[in-house]
């Protein structure tokens, strides 16, 4: 069924309309102090063998943590913020 250019038919009028209470469900909250680290983080990608990845995952599960948290702790231990090494 032909339609005029620039007009919408009744069947598609509601397809891309904005929800009535959009401001309520889009509401943005202020980040908490615990989210501060996430705001200032950067991704670090390394290549490991499948065997090393398996060892890391096993240790993380044994310690009830994630591989990411395990690696952060390892980096903090070996490269503390107050290190005297040049950057």
Domain membership of residue 71 (yes or no) is yes
Q: Identify the pLDDT of residue 46.
A: 93
Domain membership of residue 65 (yes or no) is yes
Domain membership of residue 77 (yes or no) is yes
Domain membership of residue 53 (yes or no) is yes
From the centroid of its chain, how far is CA 69?
14
Residues 6+ apart with CB under 8 A from 7: none
Domain membership of residue 69 (yes or no) is yes
Domain membership of residue 58 (yes or no) is yes
Looking at the structure of the chain, the number of domains it has is 1
pLDDT in tens, 25-77: 666 666 565 565 666 778 889 999 999 999 999 999 999 999 999 999 999 99
Q: Identify the pLDDT of residue 73.
A: 93
Contact in structure between 64 and 74 (CB atoms under 8 Å) = no
Q: Identify the pLDDT of residue 67.
A: 95
pLDDT in tens, 4-28: 555 555 455 566 666 677 666 666 6
Domain that residue 77 falls in: 49-81
Q: Identify the pLDDT of residue 27.
A: 65
Rounded to whole angstroms, the Cα distance separating 39 from 82 reads 22
Domain membership of residue 40 (yes or no) is no
């Amino acid at each position: 069924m032909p339609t005029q250019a620039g007009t919408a038919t009744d069947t598609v009028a509601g397809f891309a309309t904005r929800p009535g209470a959009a401001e309520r469900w889009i509401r943005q909250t202020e980040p908490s102090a615990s989210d501060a680290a996430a705001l200032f983080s950067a991704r670090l990608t390394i290549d490991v063998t499948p065997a090393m990845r398996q060892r890391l995952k096993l240790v993380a599960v044994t310690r009830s943590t994630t591989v990411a948290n395990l690696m952060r702790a390892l980096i903090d231990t070996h490269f503390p913020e107050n290190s005297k090494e040049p950057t």
